[in-house]
Amino acid sequence: MSESKMSSMKKEYEFLKEIGLGSRNLGCYINGLWQGNGPVISSVNPANNQRIAEVVEASFQDYEEGMRACAEAAKIWMQIPAPKRGEIVRQLGDALRAKLHYLGRLVSLEMGKILAEGIGEVQEIIDMCDFAVGLSRQLNGSIIPSERPNHIMLETWNPLGIVGVITAFNFPCAVLGWNACIALVCGNCVVWKGAPTTPLITIAMTKIVAGVLEKNNLPGAILTTFCGGAEIGQAIAEDTRIPLVSFTGSTKVGLMVQQIVNQRFGKSLLELSGNNAIIVMDDADTELAVRSVLFAAVGTAGQRCTTCRRLLLHENIYHKVLERLLDVYKQVKIGNPLEKGTLLGPLHTRASRENFEKGIQKIKSQGGKILTGGNVIESEGNFVHPTIVEISPNADVVKEELFGPLLYVMKFQSLKEAIEINNSVPQGLSSSIFTRKPEIIFKWIGPQGSDCGIVNVNIPTNGAEIGGAFGGEKATGGGREAGSDSWKQYMRRSTCTINYGNELPLAQGINFG
């Protein structure tokens, strides 16, 4: 590499100091201290495949030491009143605001998503902090009428103790926020294993949380963090000290996590694969639909679980929408995700680029017709062209999820046919329809409509707000995170019956002597 290029890269990475990162970093935050006794790995910039910095991962000894400290911290944290826990999360939101642009830039640098999306991801955690602060005063139970005189029934909610969070590369810090903000106000400590390919984001986020805990004289082990690979994830799944494991990743690995956790009678919260469709009816606002499809299919280089992978166009507007879409695809600027105007950054790893190439060959072998894109870009980075493929909805490859900017387009004649195609895949995360007709809208969101956890109208499949519960059905795992009543997954429910009289009437009118 030339000296000028090395100098340019060094300058690009200078901001890392602002969030406490150096050229070599310890990857375990254990009992308020940084350490690491595992292998040394390199964090790589997907735009040029050059090393950003080194990280020392966790060993099993680190894991056990961290878990012991976390279990002790849980005894303290759950005793703190929920509104006071909310105050700590409020301070966390303020600390993130102060480092918003630095963290957002790090997400773009290490993960590869464009800067606007990197900043947006950190903003999502800030929004979750705000949501969780309000929630900390609303962890309400119920009063239930008793059939017995002088009796009252109550529902109470208590902390689980420790929540394990295993996150994926595509949202390397936002998914922690969805889980940790809620888990913390619910009175749980958090054990976090970030993705092996985004360790710097894991460390930077942890440093911010650690600073807030230290400032409030709270045990650092309330958040315990491990950078590491599958062996650390398996340890979390097997650990009986962790009642709930939240896992984000592939269906294949998520099923393994679920089975391991179930064997010890733990709970798992799964956010797995998506294979999301947008349906465009013949009465739709086609310009709105085209803009939405572009963001849904090309955003984050197609590496969101909510990415639109299937576009279903009514036969009456098929050619009109497709021509317009092909036109806007030609205008997509591909390049360094940190540069202004870039809409499509690199895929996250070299392996992702290779999988994209293999996927294109498989598509062609099953009759797919490449309308635009379909190839990698020769460069130092992991860049590919955004791709549109005309294909039959019955092709086997359409049922699979290829993580990249790849859009299958297909034609339909009726709403019934479109819904059947939408529901025909194993995954059930997100779905959208574009129409102006109320009868179509209510059919779509009703029991005979989309079978997904997210059912949208006239908006893309991606870009969910934190106020609603996020998650999907079928092979997506069934978990729910972020808003609505998702908090109930992070607590244990007790039904309490109190007899304040002098008699002992039994339920169901039973007379026992």
Residues with catalytic function: 271, 305
Taking the C-alpha atoms of residue 398 and residue 393, their distance in angstroms, rounded to an integer, is 6
3-state DSSP call for residue 179?
Answer: helix
Pairing of the two strands 430-434 and 427-428: unpaired
Provide the token pair at 348: 């996250």
Nearest to 462 by CA among 178, 121, 106: 121
Instruction: Please say whether the beta carbons of 436 and 317 come within 8 A.
Output: no
Taking the C-alpha atoms of residue 244 and residue 179, their distance in angstroms, rounded to an integer, is 11
Secondary structure letter of residue 486 according to DSSP? G
Taking the C-alpha atoms of residue 254 and residue 303, their distance in angstroms, rounded to an integer, is 17
3-state DSSP call for residue 128?
Answer: helix
Taking the C-alpha atoms of residue 296 and residue 225, their distance in angstroms, rounded to an integer, is 32
3-state DSSP call for residue 491?
Answer: strand
Q: Residue 443, CB half-sphere, CA atoms under 13 Å: how many?
A: 15
Nearest to 42 by CA among 34, 33, 31, 50: 50
∠ Cα 354 247 468 (to 5°): 105
Edge-to-edge strands, sheet with 406-412:
369-372, 387-390, 406-412, 308-314, 276-280, 430-434, 454-457
Provide the token pair at 143: 């009063």
Provide the token pair at 483: 């808003």
Terminal CA-to-CA distance of the chain, rounded, Å?
A: 90
Unique residue bearing structure tokens 């992991």: 382
Residue 24 neighbours by CB under 8 Å, 6+ apart? 40, 53, 54, 55, 56
Taking the C-alpha atoms of residue 326 and residue 331, their distance in angstroms, rounded to an integer, is 9
Secondary structure letter of residue 169 according to DSSP? S
